[in-house]
Structure 1
């Protein structure tokens, strides 16, 4: 049996789906989500976990995504399989948002009962839905009902440009780390490897300090990552002839080979990630 709830809101369809895509922000607007982790973002096949405010943490997988319109997820609860999704229908002025959930398995009946009990505590039948939270948060902003934090000039973290930038960066980095996992690299490791490859492409002598200055990263952080890359056989470091205090950095054959395979994957991910944000 599938349980569905629909709600009409004045928010444009693209704006609502943009909230879905920004997985890291779900707990900020979804009344039912305490925490969520999807390192590859809202893309078909992405896996992670979701922790409801009242309920056990569940392993989840994105089963289907129709960009700008809907997504479907599946999760594993104790002796129960859960499928749920969100579907949007816009009419140019507003959006009809539908949330649905289906439970199956030996304890499916129990989770259906708990779901219905929760709905009975909300007579409107949809006040616990994420879309209703969006509408309610918008109403509070308009009527000034949000309690302002005195030290801040913003109504909340979600409207702070710095906090938004941080969320987007963390989302981008987690997704990229997922794509780099088959290459046994992290995003900072790839950045240093790629910069070394770029700066030495014509046989130039490049020092570790040159890499630090190019990336704008902390010197000690770069040193620690370079030590790991050297231990993995991806780079070599030697004393610079011009300055014995400096370390010359070069890629090994293994480093060049791994970088050559990783770069197209990273560039494809960047195009995908930023295209989704331009479409908002």
Structure 2
């Protein structure tokens, strides 16, 4: 697959009218941009981008991608972090008015390639078992986890997903990227990121390794967050995706970009600069299905 103008201009399918989970192959397009505008020139821009989908995540394959930067002369460096995510660092000595970061990607889901398989060592990976700042439990979380003992790891994760869906109701604007799982559960309201953090915390409390997932959900206006529970699979392990915000397993309508211990590992865009505190961020996103069969 190539990022030809003809391919990118093709109309998107109505994904709600297609059985994506039953399709043998699904092709997706992702176009996303972030424009930072400044009221005065700035210096020493140092930006971190986690917007390029994983090269492969289970049955999801990245077939082609391009990352563009406009508005300034920049230096960029791309690397894989410890979780296998593509992290792009962009630096510029000076930006006069603004800078735009844009990613375009073609992805394909091949159902026969199955779920995300991991080595058995993932079941003992302390990065997925230890609490982080955003997933440190309090007494209320510990009490909730105490009622989820017993059953297989996958059964525990299923019960936790339902618990979190009932306990944290979606409401935009009442939490931030700094909100912890304990704070979200206490308030009983939050966004997808908060529900994911609560579920991750509970899974870890009952001995189920868990990680945060950053990506896109078809039909939503912005980026989305969910989680994966890592459970035994014969002599190895498998990562099972759950979206507690929507109270279900994540299926073919989800596009994974990156995974980490929590949201702090994988924010799509973050950085620093010297200069005016007055800046604006404008985002655009187009994501959908090009073909399914």
**TM tier, smaller:** under 0.3
TM-score, normalised with respect to structure 2: 0.21
Bigger strand share: 2
For CA contacts below 8 A with separation 6 or more, give which structure has more relative contact order. Answer: 2
TM-score, normalised with respect to structure 1: 0.22
Bigger helix share: 1
Q: Which structure would you say has the larger Rg?
A: 1
